Amino acid sequence: MSLMTMATLMALACLCLAPAVGAPATVSARRPLRDNDTLVSAQGKFELGLFTPAGSSDGRFYLGIWYKNIPGQTVVWVGNRASPLSGVASAELRVSAEDGNLELVGPTAASASPVPVWSSNLSSSSSTPGSNNTAEIRDNGNLVLLDGGNTSKVLWQSFDHPTDTLIPGAWLGENKLTGEYQVLTSWRSAQDPAPGMFTDTVDPNGTSEFFYMWNQSRTYWRSGVWTGRFFATMPEATRNILFNQTYVETPTYRRVSNALYNNATITRLVLELTGQTKQYTWVPASQNWQLFWAAPTVQCDVYALCGAFGVCDLSSQPSCRCPPGFAPASEGDWTLSDWSGGCRRSVPLWCPHNGSTTDGFLTLPNVKLPNDSDLLAVGAAQSKAECESACQNSCSCEAYTFSAGRCAVWHGELRNLQQLYADSGVSRSSDLYLRLSAIGLRDLHSSGRKGGRSSWLVRGMTLLGVVALCASVILAWRILVARRRRRLVHMANEKDKGSSLTVYSYGELQAATNNFSERLGGGGFGSVYRGVLKQQKGGNTTQVQVAVKKLESLGRQGDKQFRTEVSTLGLIQHVNLVRLLGFCSSSNEKMLVYEYMPRGSLDRYLFRAGACPSWRDRYCIMIGVARGLAYLHHGCRECIIHCDIKPENILLDEDMSPRIADFGMAKLVGRDFSRALTTMRGTIGYLAPEWISGQPISAKADVYSFGMVLFELISGRRNSERCSEVDDVAGTGRCGSSAFFPVWAAGKVLEGEVGTVADPRLRNDVVPEELERACRVACWCIQDEEAHRMTMAQVVHALEGTIHVHTPPVPRALQNLVKLT
């Protein structure tokens, strides 16, 4: 069963170039791989050779394996991770004439004459001395060393020694005979493949569970045990249409591996610098790696990502930053995404040995506190002032908190600080008072006066500090007022020039959103903040709530091009589309201003615990979204493909009427679009198969996603959730053999039993004809072949009941998922 049509397979086959004539096919004692030579697998999928990490210029070379036909050299394996060569001249990958090992020799920083830096390290007993062993790179990306006396005997293979990437066919686990583990270890930085802070390894105690660990000591994420079909906390890794994941235990090994359904699919799992594993799939249509899923899903769940005193903040990019008064311990590492060094005070604390200090405290509002018990000591202090002086009186005290009558002080480095936002729902949040020297605090105030954009409150200072702060606040306020006056004039000039959109300046949106302080959410294109804008209407000033989207991943798009594209977007107006009110195009920030939707997005409305929208509301949402999409596809001058239809992109207005958000982004962000596409936690979710197979994307891709959303509206839960889990909770006995919900539902529709498909919480509050229609439409929308799917115009008519819909077949591609169980 394949997702791809013959046409795609043929196109892919053409892409795969045959190895260049004369290039060596194997490495042996007599034929080493020298200098810049590379070894290419038989069908030209993988290439082995020396590489230098992208962007580095200090002349370090590593033995690596990468995809031959994917631009940008995506490295999947590195040999000499921690011992680079200093040049390629006289470097050699060869089979040792003495012991038959595969080894890399070459110049290093310490030695200009070639020395061995890496070896397959086979003990002499397992290989024949002076043998004719050969090494080759296979089409699955495995570098193998074969016995010269028996070429079907693999002596050593790179699949037994993964670096940070797991590719299909390779494995992670334990070799019980040798006691060796196959572990993923992140790179140290973007330019250094040496082992970093994060590892993903199978439980050394022998269970099937996988642990993600920080510094090989602290577990920050667990896969859950293998249930026989999937890992308990990550069913999405198994339950997907690309590969079949299995965990197998035999007397000699226990391991997990992924087998592709279709060998032309290119996918890889990487333990990233961020401590998350991310599954990427190559999307030929956009020439991009598409994120498939990530674990842990939330970046800041990775323990101590930002090092000592670093703050993990989901709204900043990258997620790590230093608190005010602190700076990265190593600026260089920090820019290369190695945050493990953390932050250091710009001015050291001042602590004379008899304990009287002038140090003060800086408030970090609303942070998730580190809970390392060895650092935490709950004091006897009864008030905040007592707590503060308890901290101040101890030279090693770095910070304190006082909440709910409890005083806690921290000694030593603070790790795992997280910035929280109103909607993050984490309970252990509080204000943290971080100790800073008097000079450090004073420096902060003066930089604040210069208009530093720090939003941190500064407290606990000397009288002088308070005066300085007041002065700076007044000054800042004056500047703000003056700027706003100028801006109002500016606004009046810019409004209504060609389109109905208002042009805002950066400062204006910064003020409207209270310096981007209330984050409503974020998608692939950037974060959205709540704001309030003043609008002049016939002499009266009214306040308008808005949602401001700060665009990321726009690359170096010019101002003129951006304005042109946005103006076109401004013309697209429909009652089921979120309305664009204006934009900001400053030199380094591009922002879009939308009307504010107080009820938030459909996912919150539908999936939040306790929420159960009525059938009436759900059906209205189905029709509304269908109309909005039909307008985008058929009603505009050019067909606009949304490309990212999912509940998170469907907002609800006061009347519960749905509004589609984020349309037009594909055009705005251009080629980078698929990079910005976000998949929800779990499975391929809403993406049509053609995204992966590399066929051109048409409006039918939206139809597919819409079908998936319909199923979720019908069932009231994520398609990606395992039926059995929900069954157990609801006790309804639905989708008995725990199949993927849409497939099970499609089967029921075929059997004419749509009644069982609806959300059981609705009980009898459904209109049977509407349910039948919705189920049939949903099924037709998720057909494998684009031609078999309905158009959005047909969907609208079908849901409205003006055309009749026949019984649909069960989509074949998705049936793969059923086979898994």
Ligand X SMILES: *[C@@H]1O[C@H](CO)[C@@H](O)[C@H](O)[C@H]1NC(C)=O
Task: Report which DSSP code applies to 300.
Answer: G
Taking the least distance from each CB to ligand X, the nearer of 36 and 126 is 36
Of 113-121, 325-333, 516-524, 749-757, the segment contacting ligand X by CB under 6 A is 113-121
Residue 356 touches ligand X, criterion: CB under 6 A: yes
Taking the least distance from each CB to ligand X, the nearer of 152 and 587 is 152
Site string for ligand X, 362-381 (x = CB under 6 A): ---------xxx--------
Helix axes 768-781, 792-800, angle to 10 degrees: 170
Taking the least distance from each CB to ligand X, the nearer of 428 and 671 is 428
Identity of residue 555: G
- For 313, phi then psi, to 5°, come to -135, 110
Residue 89 touches ligand X, criterion: CB under 6 A: yes
Q: Which residue has the tokens 């020395």?
A: 115
Site for ligand X in 733-762 (CB under 6 A): none
Other CB atoms within a 10 A radius of the CB of residue 564 amount to 11
Taking the least distance from each CB to ligand X, the nearer of 128 and 424 is 128
Burial (0-12, 13-18, 19+ Cβ within 10 Å), 237? buried
Site string for ligand X, 199-228 (x = CB under 6 A): ----xxx---------x-x-----------
Site for ligand X in 158-177 (CB under 6 A): 169
Which of 23, 42, 121, 464 touches ligand X by CB under 6 A?
121
Residue 346 touches ligand X, criterion: CB under 6 A: no
Residue 250 touches ligand X, criterion: CB under 6 A: no
Which two tokens mark 710?
């319909």
644 is catalytic: yes
Task: Report which DSSP code applies to 672.
Answer: G
Which two tokens mark 300?
């800041």
Cα R_g (the chain), whole angstroms? 30
> What size, in residues, is the chain?
821
What is the SS3 string spanning 426-443? Answer: CCCEEEEEEEECHHHHHH
Taking the least distance from each CB to ligand X, the nearer of 63 and 676 is 63
Of 67-75, 130-138, 462-470, 606-614, the segment contacting ligand X by CB under 6 A is 130-138
CB 675 within 8 A of CB 665: no
- Rounded least distance, CB 249 to ligand X, Å: 13
Taking the least distance from each CB to ligand X, the nearer of 331 and 374 is 374
Residue 301 touches ligand X, criterion: CB under 6 A: no
Helix axes 699-715, 792-800, angle to 10 degrees: 30
Which of 35, 58, 180, 785 touches ligand X by CB under 6 A?
35
- Rounded least distance, CB 783 to ligand X, Å: 20
Task: Give the separation between CA 572 and CA 567, rounded to whole angstroms.
Answer: 9
Of 57-65, 123-131, 178-186, 432-440, the segment contacting ligand X by CB under 6 A is 123-131
Site string for ligand X, 252-281 (x = CB under 6 A): -------x---x------------------
Q: Where are the alpha helices (DSSP H) in 295-420?
A: 331-335, 384-392
Which of 152, 250, 427, 588 touches ligand X by CB under 6 A?
152
Q: Which residues contact 478 (CB under 8 A, 6 or more apart)?
A: none
Residue 88 touches ligand X, criterion: CB under 6 A: yes
- Rounded least distance, CB 355 to ligand X, Å: 7
Site for ligand X in 553-582 (CB under 6 A): none
Taking the least distance from each CB to ligand X, the nearer of 415 and 574 is 415
Residue 59 touches ligand X, criterion: CB under 6 A: no
Task: Report which DSSP code applies to 642.
Answer: -
- Rounded least distance, CB 274 to ligand X, Å: 16
Q: Where are the alpha helices (DSSP H) in 351-423?
A: 384-392
Taking the least distance from each CB to ligand X, the nearer of 435 and 776 is 435
Q: Bin 539: left if φ > 0, else alpha if -120 < ψ < 50, else beta.
A: left
Which of 132, 317, 403, 557 touches ligand X by CB under 6 A?
132
Q: Cα–chain-centroid distance for residue 126?
A: 43
Beta-bridged to residue 51, according to DSSP, are 62
Task: Give the separation between CA 564 and CA 350, rounded to whole angstroms.
Answer: 56
Task: Give the separation between CA 450 and CA 446, rounded to whole angstroms.
Answer: 7
Helix (H, G, I), strand (E, B) or coil at 394: coil
Which two tokens mark 708?
């998936």
Taking the least distance from each CB to ligand X, the nearer of 117 and 652 is 117
Residue 427 touches ligand X, criterion: CB under 6 A: no
Helix (H, G, I), strand (E, B) or coil at 209: coil
* Degrees, nearest 5: CA angle 404-407-412: 135
Of 147-155, 357-365, 436-444, 771-779, the segment contacting ligand X by CB under 6 A is 147-155
Taking the least distance from each CB to ligand X, the nearer of 486 and 819 is 819
Beta-bridged to residue 268, according to DSSP, are 280
Which two tokens mark 166?
């797991």
Site for ligand X in 440-459 (CB under 6 A): none
Residue 26 touches ligand X, criterion: CB under 6 A: no
Which of 28, 52, 108, 131 touches ligand X by CB under 6 A?
131
Which of 157, 175, 244, 500 touches ligand X by CB under 6 A?
244
Which CB contacts under 8 angstroms, 24+ apart, belong to 496-503? 498/567, 499/567, 499/570, 499/571, 500/570, 500/571, 501/566, 501/567, 501/570, 501/580, 501/581, 501/582, 501/583, 502/581, 502/582, 502/593, 503/582, 503/583, 503/584, 503/585
Of 146-154, 291-299, 395-403, 646-654, the segment contacting ligand X by CB under 6 A is 146-154
- Rounded least distance, CB 482 to ligand X, Å: 46
Helix (H, G, I), strand (E, B) or coil at 477: helix
Q: Which of 644, 662, 702, 759 is catalytic?
A: 644
Residue 123 touches ligand X, criterion: CB under 6 A: no
- Rounded least distance, CB 140 to ligand X, Å: 5
Indicate if the alpha-carbon torsion angle 277, 283, 287, 290 is positive or negative.
negative
Of 174-182, 588-596, 635-643, 813-821, the segment contacting ligand X by CB under 6 A is 813-821
Q: Is 497 annotated as a binding residue?
A: no
Taking the least distance from each CB to ligand X, the nearer of 69 and 263 is 263
Which of 113, 123, 250, 354 touches ligand X by CB under 6 A?
354
The site for ligand X, by CB under 6 A, has a size of 36
Which of 69, 73, 227, 246 touches ligand X by CB under 6 A?
246
Residue 178 touches ligand X, criterion: CB under 6 A: no
CB 816 within 8 A of CB 261: yes
Task: Give the separation between CA 696 and CA 787, rounded to whole angstroms.
Answer: 13
Indicate if the alpha-carbon torsion angle 273, 276, 279, 280 is positive or negative.
negative
Binding site, residues? 550
**Contacts to ligand X by CB under 6 A:** 35-36, 88-89, 118-119, 121, 128, 130-132, 139-140, 148-150, 152-153, 169, 203-205, 215, 217, 244, 246, 259, 263, 354, 356, 371-373, 816, 819-820
Known binding-site positions for ATP = 550
**Which residues are part of the catalytic machinery?**
644
